[in-house]
């Protein structure tokens, strides 16, 4: 409503100064403005009480003029009430008013001073969808995801169809929501996820387009945009990983004992885990099974790995299986520096028992072959074809070959071969 002319003693007062109605489509609300006369005056106005459209109905009550240009004399303290009933049936914003003039009267009923022109006014906005138009995600570590819920509330008595599009990076909405209209049932609410994926440190801002329409035949449509903001934080949350240890107990040399160790990721990010010293463990007869899913461990979850020990020497085992965990960041953060790497260990203990030499505390070591006793073989009582006596060749003798040569010489001598034997002496 337009304001009245200022005066030391105003002729009348209107409360409230202006009517404003935000009414859901399909609902009905009533709003009233009251004019109070401070002195005797004549009120002339245009009544809309007999007119009505699909959105509003107006009426006067009390000491009010009737007819289009009806007039009424009001005494100090008299009131005129103007009532506006809103019942919107479509999406729109409109302004409506009922104009009037007030003229002061003296004791004789004669007009005094200037007539004051004013009006009762109504600003009507029909309501369908209600939601916040701005979202700040605060600080989010680079490479991680910040999320908020866009809550859409349909106040209307008809279903609303909503579209979201053109979301500026690094902000996003579920891709499934970009290619189709979202249905928000009448008198109901739904929540739509919004995301902030910072790829660099510092503040970021963006926008997203929205539009909606009623699921009816009016064709009315409204549109606007979302304001999105957030700050990328270069500091990352810590990597928190751990491993259980095992005690193999007593294991006989040559036997194999299997145990399991559990690797737990208590971080807020997914990690990849690698074994660091499988070769060193293998030298002690220890073998580590394959890490499930190539060592991928989601945030807050664990994996179990088998570790086997087949000792080759007696002694005490006291070693650690070493691992490294690295944070897994999405591809959108691939341009950032390499993620942090954290090392952790699983303690391995046990005792190898057997007849072999003792190891040096599980640290390996060698035994001189020369100090190892040689096995002995029992001698048979009587030679047999399968077990002939072994004659060792001694240094400086001919052995069996020399005896065979002498036998040949004696035979030649007996056959008259003396000249052969003597021939060397003629030299």
Query: Which residue ranges form the domains of the chain, and what is each CATH number?
Result: 12-127 (2.60.40.10), 129-233 (2.60.40.10), 241-353 (2.60.40.10)
- Tell me, what DSSP letter sits at residue 170? T
Q: Is the pLDDT of residue 47 over 90?
A: no
Mean pLDDT of the chain: 80
Tens-digit pLDDT profile for residues 119-163 = 888 899 999 999 999 999 999 988 788 999 999 999 999 999 999
Is residue 79 classed exposed, middle or buried when 0-12, 13-18 and 19+ CB atoms within 10 A define those classes? middle
Which residues are within 8 A (CB) of 188 and not within 5 positions of it... i.e. 6 or more apart?
A: 153, 154
- Contact by Cβ (8 Å): 142, 234: yes
E strands along 234-340, which residues?
241-243, 246-252, 257-265, 271-275, 286-288, 296-297, 302-309, 315-327
pLDDT of 54: 73
- Mean pLDDT, residues 247-255 taken together: 96
> Which of 102-116, 178-192, 404-418 is least confident?
404-418
Which residues are within 8 A (CB) of 193 and not within 5 positions of it... i.e. 6 or more apart?
A: 147, 148, 149, 150, 173, 174
What percentage of residues in the chain have a pLDDT greater than 90?
56
> Which of 29-43, 55-69, 74-88 is least confident?
55-69
Q: Please tell me the pTM assigned to this model.
A: 0.57
- Contact by Cβ (8 Å): 307, 289: yes
Closest by CA position to 156, among listed 177, 183, 185, 114: 185
- Contact by Cβ (8 Å): 197, 231: no
Please give the radius of gyration of the chain, using alpha carbons only, rounded to the nearest integer: 52
Tens-digit pLDDT profile for residues 288-307 = 999 999 899 999 999 999 99
Ordered alpha helix ranges (H), 250-290: 278-282
- Mean pLDDT, residues 100-118 taken together: 92
pLDDT of 330: 59
pLDDT of 179: 72
Is residue 274 classed exposed, middle or buried when 0-12, 13-18 and 19+ CB atoms within 10 A define those classes? middle
């Amino acid at each position: 409503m337009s304001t009245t002319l200022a005066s030391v003693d105003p002729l009348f007062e209107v409360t409230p100064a202006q009517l404003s109605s935000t009414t859901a489509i399909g609902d009905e609300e009533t709003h009233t403005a009251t004019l109070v006369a401070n002195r005797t005056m004549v009120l002339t106005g245009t009544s809309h009480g007999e007119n009505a459209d699909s959105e509003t109905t107006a009426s006067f009550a009390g000491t009010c003029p009737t007819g289009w240009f009806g007039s009424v004399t009001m005494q100090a303290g008299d009131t005129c009430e103007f009532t506006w009933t809103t019942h919107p049936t479509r999406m729109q914003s409109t302004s409506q008013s009922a104009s009037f003039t007030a003229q002061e009267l003296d004791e004789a009923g004669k007009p005094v001073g200037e007539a004051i022109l004013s009006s009762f006014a109504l600003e009507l906005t029909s309501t369908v969808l209600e939601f916040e138009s701005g979202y700040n995600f605060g600080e989010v570590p680079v490479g991680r995801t910040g999320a908020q819920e866009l809550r859409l509330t349909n106040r209307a008595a008809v279903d609303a169809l909503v579209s979201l599009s053109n979301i500026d990076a690094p902000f996003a909405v579920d891709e499934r929501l970009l290619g189709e209209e979202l249905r928000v049932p009448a008198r109901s609410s739904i929540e739509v996820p919004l995301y902030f994926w910072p790829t660099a440190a510092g503040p970021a801002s963006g926008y997203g387009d929205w539009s909606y329409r009623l699921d009816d035949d009016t064709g009315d449509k409204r549109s606007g945009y979302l304001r999105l903001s957030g700050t990328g934080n270069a500091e990352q949350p810590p990597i928190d990983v751990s491993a259980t240890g095992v005690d193999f107990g007593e294991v006989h040399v040559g036997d194999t004992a299997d145990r399991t160790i559990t690797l737990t990721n208590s971080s807020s990010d997914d990690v990849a885990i690698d074994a660091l010293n499988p070769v060193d463990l293998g030298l002690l007869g220890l073998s580590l099974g394959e890490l499930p899913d190539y060592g991928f461990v989601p945030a807050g979850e664990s994996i179990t790995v088998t570790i086997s020990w087949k000792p080759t020497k007696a002694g005490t085992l006291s070693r650690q299986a070493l691992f490294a965990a690295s944070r897994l960041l999405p591809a959108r953060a691939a341009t950032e520096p390499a993620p942090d790497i954290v090392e952790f260990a699983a303690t391995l203990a046990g005792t190898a028992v057997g007849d072999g030499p003792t190891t040096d505390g599980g640290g390996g070591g060698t035994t001189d072959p020369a100090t190892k006793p040689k096995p002995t073989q029992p001698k048979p009582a009587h030679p047999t074809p399968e077990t002939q006596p072994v004659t060792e060749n001694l240094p400086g003798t001919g052995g069996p070959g020399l005896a065979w040569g002498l036998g040949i010489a004696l035979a030649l001598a007996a056959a008259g071969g003396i000249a052969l034997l003597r021939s060397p002496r003629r030299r």
